[in-house]
Amino acid sequence: MLADQFSQRADADAVHAAQFQSQVQNIQQLAQSAHDLGSKPTPNSRATV
């Protein structure tokens, strides 16, 4: 019985870890996209010299 509970919790932890890793990758992609957008000049952001 205790072994079954441990196994169920270990399985649940593995699922949560996979979900967390997926969320981390999504956040990294969003951050990279935001960085890429921020590094592209727009017509209104050009400095006049």
pLDDT of residue 27: 98
Helix (H, G, I), strand (E, B) or coil at 13: helix
pTM beyond 0.85, yes or no: no
Residue type, 6: F
Q: pLDDT, tens digit, for every residue of 14-36?
A: 999 999 999 999 999 999 999 99
